[in-house]
Amino acid sequence: MRYEYLYGEIFAMSGGSEEHNCIVGNIYASLLAHLRGSECQIFSADMKVKISLAENDSDFFYYPDVMVTCDPQDTEKYYKSYPCLIVEVLSLSTKDIDKQEKLLNYQSLESLQEYVLVSKTGMKVAIYRRLEVGCWSGEILGKEDCLKLNSVGLTLTMTDIYDEVLIG
């Protein structure tokens, strides 16, 4: 069982669907092939990201679906603190948390350059990019668009992301 830790409370996480796992696998595989031989590390689902909020003097731990860190300071074995890219595949039970709470908390990470939300019910992707300290832009992509991941220098088509996933 996996758990996320927020405000001193532990929350159980449900497992993912077939579509969820295929989308995560497609994105992970593309990133792995693209970043092979670089100083970056790619993680999928089982690696936590730690977020320290000084104003609350508390730490949060989330399990992103896909996370990339290229920071040599990120040496902890069981969690990462300096991701440059985080991807979440939206589930019915978590989409509101991913779009609101996690969006705000992830944006507090100084290292994070892009946060990507991928729908599993249609070819739709939202990407949030850091413009400068404290400023972010958001963009919604549809089935004819490409996802440009500036943080790692990779462009994915919707076919790359949704390969072998039936969207009704």
pLDDT digits (tens, 9 = 90+) for 76-129: 999 999 999 999 999 888 888 899 999 999 999 999 999 999 999 899 999 999
Mean local confidence (pLDDT), 50-71: 87
Mean local confidence (pLDDT), 134-146: 94
Check: CB of residue 86 under 8 Å from CB of residue 49.
yes
H/E stretch holding 48: strand 48-53
| Total-model pTM | 0.89
Supply the mean pLDDT for the chain.
Answer: 89
Instruction: Record the tokens describing residue 24, joined without a space.
Output: 């995560």
- Distance, in Å, from the CA atom of 46 to the CA atom of 154, rounded to the nearest integer, reads 23
39 CA to centre of own chain: 19
